[in-house]
């Protein structure tokens, strides 16, 4: 006797099919189809900077801010692996005097 039969449910559970959803390989293929690739030779710093600025201008500002925040947290974790991120004011200042 199976657990389902013991609970009074002898019918098999329905399995949802995700055949309409793209696979990981299909998602990667679609991403590659939309990817933009440029090769910069030595001495093309201005063209490289223009392409970099164009890339970042395409991303909305709120998404850029979220990306930078994620990157900041990752850099903090790499720089200080023994200190978890603690969102509070620094208490290292002993005294502030006004001039």
- Domain positions in the chain are 35-74
pLDDT digits (tens, 9 = 90+) for 60-97: 999 999 999 999 999 999 998 888 777 766 667 677 78
Q: What is the pLDDT of residue 81?
A: 86
- Rounded mean pLDDT of 30-50? 88
Contacts of 67 (CB under 8 A, 6+ apart): 59
Predicted TM-score (pTM) above 0.75? no
Residue 64 near residue 56 (C-beta atoms within 8 A):
yes
Q: What is the mean pLDDT of the chain?
A: 79
Contacts of 83 (CB under 8 A, 6+ apart): 76
How far apart (Å, rounded) are the C-alpha atoms in residues 67 and 55?
14
Contacts of 12 (CB under 8 A, 6+ apart): 4
């Amino acid at each position: 006797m199976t657990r389902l039969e013991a609970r009074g449910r002898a019918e098999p559970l329905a399995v949802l099919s995700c055949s309409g959803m793209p696979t990981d390989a299909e998602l990667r293929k679609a991403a590659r189809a939309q990817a933009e690739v440029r090769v910069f030779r030595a001495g093309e710093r201005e063209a490289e900077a223009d392409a970099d600025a164009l890339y970042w201008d395409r991303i909305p500002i709120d998404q850029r801010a979220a990306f930078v925040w994620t990157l900041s947290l990752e850099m903090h974790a790499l720089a200080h692996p023994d200190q978890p991120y603690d969102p509070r004011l620094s208490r290292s200042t002993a005294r502030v005097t006004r001039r």
